[in-house]
A and B are shown apart, each in its own frame.
Chain A
């Protein structure tokens, strides 16, 4: 299986901050990576696919980059509704895996 390691696992930040979450794959996955946001008690929500393509309806303060084994999700200016847990997911094959998650909390 391809392992995904997110860092940090926990992040404390303030409204207006710029934050970056990293996802590293145990082997190259080209750009077959997606990012999701999950709020407590809710289903995950797709933010970005193909490493850098913003899903329709997702605010432009979210962006993704990377290819191969290292990827980043950046939120340019945190809003109150962005405090949530974020997951990366690789879809390089049918053996799909998720990262362990990054919990983003208000400082």
Chain B
């Protein structure tokens, strides 16, 4: 089972360049998320989606855009990369229990370095 797949796994960018991280899940989950992980900061929510065609801002949305055109895919875009966006990015998906957010299934992470 593939679960949650992130591409690419590693990327080095120069300041000002743009790029897109792709997340794909094969579990038919309604919810999808993008988090960034930095030392001492834990996992911070960038954007999330509660269904196809919907997106919402998380804790640290500035400098990022997202799209959820298909239920199984959630794209994270950096229009003009900055060194402060050097981080490990995690995508996750979950189904809803109807009462609360269900278990999140995470991808393996994408390490992005902005020079």
Q: Do A and B bind each other?
A: no
Q: Which residues of B contact A (CB under 8 A)?
A: none
Q: Which residues of A contact B (CB under 8 A)?
A: none
